[in-house]
Amino acid sequence: MAVIGEETWPAPAGWAGKIYSGGWRDAEGGTRQVIEPATGRTLAEVGVAGPADVARAGARAAHAAGDWAATPPSRRIEILLRVSAALRGHSATVRHWIVRESAGVPAKGDYEIAAALAQLTHAVALASLPQGEVLAPQISGGGSLAWRVPLGVVGVITPWNAPLLFAMRALAPALALGNAVLLKPDPLTPVSGGVLVAQLFEEAGLPDGVLHVLPGGVETGQAVAADPHIAMVSFTGSTEAGRAVARVAGEGLKRVSLELGGKNSIIVLEDADVEAAATAGAASSFGYQGQACVAAGRHLVHADLVEDYTDALVGHAKAMRVGDPSAEGVTIGPVISERQAARIERIVDESLAAGARLLTGGRRDGLFYPPTVLDRVKRTAPAFTEEIFGPVAPVVPFHSEAEAIELANDTAYGLTAAVHSHSVPRATAVAEQLRTGMAHINDATAKDAANAPFGGMGISGNGSRIGGTASLELFTQWRWMTMPGRT
């Protein structure tokens, strides 16, 4: 099977049709072709990990985890720094794969690389933090200590929309804190989310058996979640899939971190800068074709501004060029699959039938769905109630702050939000009343930072957070020890 011909790293002869588990090896689950969404071209072939592959990887990771946990933090830091250097050195190839495989424009590839580097840098800092406490003893002269220890083996299941970033977001802190990892990248992006990651860590000198990369679909993910050697599962993806992972992992009483979907609102108060708000709104709904859990799924705009706002938003939408993301000047690529394109189409069509008005876009060409703006969207319409995961901006007017807050909170999701106002204290007061794990003032809904606790409320997650010092709590567990007093 041919691999993208212009790429010499990673050498395809070593990984094509294989999984990474104790080196590159044939997979029990066979192979899978990697298809470029923009052209339908076959980019590569990867191995598919079957249940037996996962079982072998889990056992091997458990064996390696003890030595890795005992490795001095300085050595773990050294390896993570080498991964950073390797990622910088291979950034052109990594960007190429992100563009071709995930259908993001080059700027999206650059963003992922920069964000992955930030995750590695922050993980280095985590490994250097104090790992415990000296507690007040209960008896005179005694000792009482509490410290964090690695969980052991962590299973990481990542989605297709930011494959490199979401891999590094969990891998880097988990490895820095002494855990071994089984990584299952999404079957749509197994190279940028898996093969390249394995190559970077192998090049950096990560000890054998500490990292296993196991591409595959639902069966592979279930095997990872169920494997008895795995102490924790970190999952990023849809709420429906997250529930399934939680059920399987729950049977083994494993720790589970779920980062799931969102129905996020950008709220534009009557004193907001309309053009600035529309610019943030366009970035929130149309960036990477709206295929992000943090995308804006509702534009709640004060009735006094709604006409000016929609005009500005339509202007942004019409200025965007749709096409092959590898072509110069393209700002919107295709959505990831026919299934996703059909879902977006259904939501828009049903919302139009329910009374919404189409201001621009709304008609796809294969996987290419243009930036779309809807207004007069009813609260019962799918565009208001469902996570769209496509470049669609539903605009809904409101007449008071209380109504805006009620509209934004009218969802079971609770991931992120943005509030726009000339008055930062006023916007902050509104944001504090939203049931979301994150909120941004006079900015886009789609934001993340390596040093920030990322996660949501409601069905956007299970209350866990990843990023910042939250990762220290997530990927370790406490051990307490006492010593007797003098006799």
Catalytic positions, please? Answer: 259, 293
Using alpha carbons only, what angle is made at residue 473 by residues 255 and 137, rounded to the nearest 5 degrees?
110
Exposed/middle/buried for 479, CB within 10 Å: 0-12, 13-18, 19+? exposed
Amino acid, res. 123:
A
Nearest alpha-carbon partner for 358 in 381, 335, 341: 381
b/e sequence 177-212, b meaning 16+ C-beta within 10 Å = bbbbbbbbbbbbbbbbbbbbbbbbbbbbebeebbbb
For residue 138, give both structure tokens: 């209960």
Rg of the Cα atoms in the chain: 23
For residue 61, give both structure tokens: 């990771």
Cα–Cα distance between 226 and 250 in angstroms, integer? 9
Sign of the torsion angle spanned by Cα atoms 443, 446, 452, 454: positive
Neighbours of 318 (CB within 10 A): 14
Phi, psi (5° rounding) for residue 171? Answer: -60, -50
At a CB cut-off of 8 Å and minimum separation 6, what does 410 contact?
A: 379
Beta carbons of 259 and 249 less than 8 angstroms apart: no
Q: Which strand (E) or helix (H) includes residue 26?
A: strand 24-26
Decide: helix, strand or coil at residue 438: coil
User: What are the start-end ranges of the H helices in 238-331?
Assistant: 239-251, 274-286, 306-319
Nearest alpha-carbon partner for 296 in 329, 258, 338, 265: 265
Cα–Cα distance between 16 and 24 in angstroms, integer? 9
Cα–Cα distance between 233 and 475 in angstroms, integer? 10
Beta carbons of 467 and 446 less than 8 angstroms apart: no
Nearest alpha-carbon partner for 294 in 337, 263, 317, 267: 263
